[in-house]
């Protein structure tokens, strides 16, 4: 979906296909048919943006076979889909029964991460619509926090600088400008947008910036205005933002609130949980640790890294951090010029919701994703952006 900003530029809205994880090229082609096109039809659009997730095996198949890449491009066109952004955070195995810490491997200290992200950028340059010259790839925020020392930081910085050089060369070759965005996430070396400023200032390259994920922003109790203004002041690019909402518990000391939270404790993904105290941010790596232990103070609200559907917050006594998303979106694209032009709805946890909330059919899932995109569309038009055909 495309929108005209009051300054005349185009802002793109997509949804991320990691909600239908596919490890192979055949799986990616099937998801376009079975999921993405039905979402487009529900929205009544001739064209729909998708934030494509390509696992390593699928990316390698496309890199090794130009005919396969042409086939993917043709299939996107045939189904009324377009790609201006890729989600390069998960490397592989995102559809496994247990993902947890595996999603952070390989990290930016490993050559595999650089090679994969380079391939993604090259593929995106070939997949961009003919009338679009800018693409973005989101990636993990360097690494999980441990082990990560100064030597690891130096290796990651060197890898990012190498990537930036390759992106420069790619634009010279193709005329397409690609940028890569590190996505701050709780528990990682770069947990917050504030954490990103130092490492990215050291890299200091316009092609390497931040992906602002509004679920992660909220989980870490970051103020959207402060966070985004600090990035802008530091001249850190924001190539992309992910529109998502976290799980919020206002009174976690209450038994009924903990019982409600327990329904969201599931074995597939990490759900880092945080609370803000007078001594700073406190947290656990996963929701069960917060519920089972006494390490997390419960005198103030808890937020858990669980991407809940934008249009459908959990029932009381829980809610979502949709207000944080609204404020962040206003800061990102509501001013005289957008700070980012690539927006992606990323609710990959539909099938990890408590059983009674999970969509039981493809049709119900498509209904839910379409409703999320419709909400995001309305937020954008409320900010003065105009939806384009």
CB 19 within 8 A of CB 362: no
Question: Percent of the chain at pLDDT above 70?
Answer: 100
Mean pLDDT of the chain: 97
pLDDT recorded at residue 55: 98
What pLDDT, in 10s, does the model give residues 338-374?
999 999 999 999 999 999 999 999 999 999 999 999 9
* Residues ≥6 apart with Cβ < 8 Å to 78: none
CATH homologous superfamily for 2-251+306-387? Divalent-metal-dependent TIM barrel enzymes (3.20.20.150)
pLDDT recorded at residue 216: 98
pLDDT recorded at residue 244: 98
Residue 181 has phi, psi (to 5 degrees) of -125, 120
179: which 2 tokens? Answer: 């940028």
CA–CA distance, 81 with 50 (Å, rounded to integer): 7
Binned at pLDDT 50, 70 and 90, residue 295 comes out as confident
CB 193 within 8 A of CB 223: no
Domain range summary for the chain, segments of one domain joined by + = 2-251+306-387
Question: Percent of the chain at pLDDT above 90?
Answer: 99
DSSP 333-357: HSSSS-S-SEEEE----GGGS-GGG
Task: Give the number of other CB atoms < 10 A from CB of residue 314.
Answer: 22
pLDDT recorded at residue 198: 97
pLDDT recorded at residue 293: 77
Q: Give 68: exposed, middle or buried? Use CB within 10 Å, 0-12, 13-18, 19+.
A: middle
pLDDT recorded at residue 340: 98
CA–CA distance, 276 with 272 (Å, rounded to integer): 13
Average pLDDT over residues 33-38: 98
Binned at pLDDT 50, 70 and 90, residue 294 comes out as confident
What pLDDT, in 10s, does the model give residues 168-202?
999 999 999 999 999 999 999 999 999 999 999 99
Binned at pLDDT 50, 70 and 90, residue 43 comes out as very high
pLDDT recorded at residue 24: 97
């Amino acid at each position: 979906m495309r929108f005209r900003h009051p300054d005349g530029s185009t802002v793109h809205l997509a949804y991320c296909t990691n909600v239908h994880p596919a490890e192979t090229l055949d799986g990616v082609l099937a998801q376009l048919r079975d999921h993405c096109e039905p979402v487009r039809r529900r929205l009544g659009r001739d064209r729909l943006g998708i934030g494509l997730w390509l696992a390593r095996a699928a990316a390698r198949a496309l890199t090794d076979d130009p005919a396969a890449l042409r086939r993917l491009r043709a299939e996107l066109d045939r189904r009324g889909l377009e790609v201006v952004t890729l989600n390069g955070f998960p490397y592989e195995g995102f559809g496994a029964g247990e993902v947890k810490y595996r999603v952070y491997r390989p990290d930016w200290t490993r050559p595999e991460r650089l090679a994969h992200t380079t391939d993604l950028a090259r593929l995106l340059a070939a997949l961009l619509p003919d009338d679009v010259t800018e693409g973005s790839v989101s990636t993990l925020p360097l690494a999980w926090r441990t082990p990560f020392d100064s030597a690891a930081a130096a290796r990651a910085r060197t890898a990012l600088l190498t990537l930036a050089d390759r992106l420069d060369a790619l634009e010279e070759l193709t005329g397409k400008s690609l940028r890569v965005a590190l996505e701050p996430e709780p528990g990682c070396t770069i947990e917050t947008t504030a954490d990103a400023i130092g490492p990215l200032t050291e890299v200091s390259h316009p092609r390497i910036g931040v992906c602002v994920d509004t679920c992660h922003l909220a989980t870490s109790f970051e103020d959207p205005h402060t966070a985004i203004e600090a990035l802008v002041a530091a001249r850190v690019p924001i190539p992309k933002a992910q529109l998502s909402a976290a799980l919020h518990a206002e009174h976690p000391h209450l038994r009924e609130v903990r019982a409600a939270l327990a329904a969201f404790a599931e074995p597939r993904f990490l759900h880092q949980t945080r609370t803000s105290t007078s001594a700073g941010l406190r947290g656990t790596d996963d929701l069960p640790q917060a519920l089972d232990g006494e390490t997390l103070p419960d005198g103030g609200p808890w937020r858990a890294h669980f991407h809940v559907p934008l249009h459908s917050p959990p029932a009381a006594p829980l809610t979502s951090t949709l207000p944080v998303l609204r404020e962040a979106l206003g800061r990102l694209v509501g001013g005289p010029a957008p700070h980012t032009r690539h927006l992606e709805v990323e609710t990959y946890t539909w099938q990890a919701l408590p059983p009674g909330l999970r969509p039981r059919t493809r049709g119900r899932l498509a209904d839910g994703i379409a409703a999320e995109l419709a909400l995001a569309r309305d937020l954008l038009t409320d900010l003065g952006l105009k939806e384009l055909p």
